Chain A
Amino acid sequence: MKVTVARKAHFNAAHRLNNPSWSEAKNKEVFGKCNNPNYHGHNYNLTVKVTGEIDPETGYVIDVKVLSDLIKHEIEARFDHKNLNLDTEEFKDLNPTAENIAVVIWNILRPLINQKLDLKIVLYETERNFVEFGG
């Protein structure tokens, strides 16, 4: 009997989508406005979902306080109010698309959460665009 526990968080960050191995013209053609050399920002909304059996002793799948602290210290501290391309190690050589950000967040959190529990990332880049990654 598996239950999913979810915690919502958000962070604001700037980025620019660019493939350095392409010409300026091709980058502009593929990424459009998102290739703007001086960057642009998003208010990212993040939902982290953890699925597993309820611990009979605590009644929890995972303590939401633990999950919320992990998100705060590992994700928000790293990415909030940052320029993803310039200020973060993770996106120095990785295009900071919503897809890649979701995968990076999953990779950061996965070793920190009990391996018996499933982990899924839902990342909204805008109100209408979101990506999901579950490993």
Chain B
Amino acid sequence: MKQKEILLNLEAEVNKAKAENIAVVIWNILRPLINQKLDLKIVLYETERNFVEFGG
């Protein structure tokens, strides 16, 4: 791969690992495993002071 392509791929991987996306991924993993009658919400602290919330 050309260097630019490698960098772009790396950037894409880093984006996927943002707290926002991690919360969505966790929600997507757990949602089918929990009774659909129940609401599901993810709260993910990346640091003591920064957190994200996702409820679908």
Binding site for B on A (CB under 8 A): 1, 3-9, 49, 54, 57-61, 64, 68
For the complex, give the distance between the alpha carbons of A111 and B56 in Å.
Answer: 28
Q: Interface size bucket, B side?
A: 10 to 19
For the complex, give the distance between the alpha carbons of A6 and B23 in Å.
Answer: 13
B50 adjacent to A59 (CB under 8 Å): no
B20 adjacent to A54 (CB under 8 Å): yes
Question: Which of A8, A49, A61 is B20 in contact with, Cβ under 8 Å?
Answer: A61
Q: Is B49 an interface residue (CB 8 A)?
A: yes
Q: Which of B14, B21, B52, B56 gathers the greatest number of chain A CB atoms within 10 Å?
A: B52
B49 adjacent to A3 (CB under 8 Å): no
A3 adjacent to B15 (CB under 8 Å): no
Question: Which of A8, A58, A61 is B15 in contact with, Cβ under 8 Å?
Answer: A58
For the complex, give the distance between the alpha carbons of A7 and B53 in Å.
Answer: 11
A7 adjacent to B18 (CB under 8 Å): no
A60 adjacent to B53 (CB under 8 Å): no
Binding site for A on B (CB under 8 A): 14-21, 23-24, 48-54, 56
B16 adjacent to A5 (CB under 8 Å): no
B16 adjacent to A59 (CB under 8 Å): yes
For the complex, give the distance between the alpha carbons of A1 and B23 in Å.
Answer: 12
Given contacts A54-B20, A54-B24, A59-B21, contact A8 B53 (CB under 8 A): no
Q: Which residue of A lies closest to B21 (CB)?
A: A59
A8 adjacent to B48 (CB under 8 Å): yes
Question: Which of B20, B48, B49 is A59 in contact with, Cβ under 8 Å?
Answer: B20
A4 adjacent to B52 (CB under 8 Å): yes
Residues in chain B near residue A4, CB distance under 8 A: 52-54
Given contacts A1-B24, A54-B24, contact A6 B18 (CB under 8 A): no
For the complex, give the distance between the alpha carbons of A60 and B16 in Å.
Answer: 10
